[in-house]
Structure 1
Amino acid sequence: MADPASFSDQALSVFAFAVYHQLESGEPVSAVARRDQAGHQASQEGVAELQERGMATVEGDRILFTQAGQEVVQRLAQALRAAA
């Protein structure tokens, strides 16, 4: 499994957005929007890094996490819970 500490802050911000939605909904998250209707958008550099590292793909305006990417989202959510 990829070590979250090895990702850039831009890539971590994409994961953080997924973790937020997962914690807020209580459901596993496998995709997030690249842009939302509130004017927020994912870092292009972060998305490119996730694609290069096999953590995500992009379809239209959605960032789809691969199995490896979903595992990182889970690991980050667990770390946040443990830190609370």
Structure 2
Amino acid sequence: MADGTTNLSDKALAVFAFAAYHQLGSGQPVKSVIRDDGQGHRADEAGVAELQSAGLVEPGAGEITFTSEGLTFLSRAIEGMRTAGLQS
């Protein structure tokens, strides 16, 4: 796992929240997300830069692609949401 993932800002985590939303809603694996959908949903550039520095994404002009470490982080985040209510 990439270094620094425990100290990610909310703006960086929002990129993963967006990906998790789409993955959970569609039931399909998400490997990238759009940077700006033209409907008011836009990834924060500082958050994207933070994720790139952590080795979790490769940003492109139109989308943000998760690295293998980023995909692992996304899977763990989704699993954490699934099990959050099960732990006492």
Distance 1:81 1:6 in 2: 22
The residue identity in structure 1 corresponding to 2:58 is T
- Let me know the Cα RMSD of the aligned residues: 1.4
- Count of residue pairs brought into register by the alignment: 84
Distance 2:19 2:74 in 1: 7
Which of these two proteins has the greater Rg computed from alpha carbons? 2
Per chain length, whose mean CA-contact separation is higher, i.e. which structure has more relative contact order (CA < 8 Å, sep 6+)?
Answer: 1
1:4 positional shift:
4.7
Shift >3 Å, 4+ stretches: 2-5
Q: State TM-score, norm by structure 2.
A: 0.87
Q: State TM-score, norm by structure 1.
A: 0.91
Residue 67 (str. 1) matches residue 68 (str. 2): yes
- Specify every segment of 5 or more residues in structure 1 that has no aligned partner in the other structure, as ranges: none
* Paired residues of 1:31 and 1:63 also in contact (CA < 8 A): yes
- Specify every segment of 5 or more residues in structure 2 that has no aligned partner in the other structure, as ranges: none
Matched residues, percent identical? Answer: 46
